[in-house]
Structure 1
């Protein structure tokens, strides 16, 4: 049997020996179209290593629309238009909060600066949101939170599902921001006006760390 791919920077997490082989077999046996494509499944962890991670944003599962998801929570391929509604609301808050605007929905520029964009499930059948919710993916998110919180890190927890994971964050000198989810169903109940982007940058600046440029730069898309 072929050993399933695992991101090298995170391969020491128990998930990859204890849980991932069975999940990989389940995905391989699923006859539906599974998103994102195999080579992008761990893109968030590939692009932001433990040593690089300064900010963690937790999402739910990949976008179930073919051509949208590419392995980073909330992010879409650069040519996607219109944007998913949650991402559109994130960008509205970004503009209100910082005056910065993104060129498109590709958030790899955030990832390159140490913003880990991690979904709690890393696969989804096309057209079936939460379709792989029970495969065992959450253990990976739990272990990533435990690992990253061994040193000071900023966590952005949008919505109840993400906030339930706070218990996996080790005590420490962290910034933990909680608000409603940016979904159209809840954004007006506390997401809009929460100003998470400037809060993260103030925290980073207070630690003499480089702040995050929340715009999406053209060079990030090459």
Structure 2
């Protein structure tokens, strides 16, 4: 079901040999539409190798609306045209935090700057949030975070599942920002006003790294 040839260094994680075959077998029996499409499921890892990760943004599971998710957490395909929901609130916080207005809904330029946009669950049945919460995807998240423990990084953990998944991340060596999820149901419980973008850039500078351009990518 899944092509693992583009994973690079991530392919060495035990998950892909020990757990993924069982997940694939379960998904093969799924009668509902699975989102995102299989070729996109590992997009976040394929796009950014471990040594290039400077920031981790951890979410929950993919959007459950067709043509919305492309397997970068919180990112929405450019031609979707529907409601932005969580991403809209992320853009509101970005404007409040850095006075930056972003219009591009695809966040692949963040990934290209070293931001790993990962969900704790990588698939979802159409129209059923958390419908694949018990398939075993969390073991991949655990192994990814363990692999990234080799050097300090910034972790933006949005929502309870992200907090739980990253509970072992050392907040004395890393920047660890835990807030509510940016969903319209919870953003007012601590996501708004958390200033994750400016705080991350300040921390990156303190580590000798360049800041992230969180706004629309510069024109070539």
Taking structure 1 as the reference length, the TM-score comes to: 0.93
Structure 2: gaps spanning 5 or more residues: none
Deviations 1:32-57 (A, max 9, x none): 21111111010000111101101001
Measure the CA separation in 2 of the matches of 1:171 and 1:215.
27
Q: Does 1:98 align with 2:87?
A: no
Measure the CA separation in 2 of the matches of 1:218 and 1:209.
19
Measure the CA separation in 1 of the matches of 2:26 and 2:137.
12
* 1:218 shift after superposition: 6.9
Measure the CA separation in 1 of the matches of 2:218 and 2:78.
10
Task: Give SS of 2:167's match.
Answer: helix
* 1:104 shift after superposition: 2.3
Q: What's the counterpart of residue 79 of structure 2? A: 79
Within a 5 Å distance, the mapping from 1:1-222 to structure 2 comes to 4-6=2-4, 7-170=7-170, 173-217=173-217
Measure the CA separation in 2 of the matches of 1:16 and 1:62.
20
Task: Give SS of 2:80's match.
Answer: coil
Moved more, 115-124 or 159-168: 159-168
Segments of 4+ in structure 1 off by > 4 A?
none
Are the counterparts in 2 of residues 41 and 122 from structure 1 also a CA contact under 8 Å? Answer: yes
Report the CA distance shift for 1:219/1:42 in structure 2 as closer, same or farther (over 3 A): farther
* 1:82 shift after superposition: 3.3
Number of corresponding residues? 218
Measure the CA separation in 2 of the matches of 1:123 and 1:218.
32
Taking structure 2 as the reference length, the TM-score comes to: 0.93
* 1:120 shift after superposition: 0.8
* 1:171 shift after superposition: 6.5
Measure the CA separation in 2 of the matches of 1:194 and 1:28.
41
Task: Give SS of 1:11's match.
Answer: helix
* 1:58 shift after superposition: 0.7
Are the counterparts in 2 of residues 149 and 172 from structure 1 also a CA contact under 8 Å? Answer: no
Structure 1: gaps spanning 5 or more residues: none
Are the counterparts in 2 of residues 15 and 139 from structure 1 also a CA contact under 8 Å? Answer: yes
* RMSD over aligned Cα atoms: 1.7
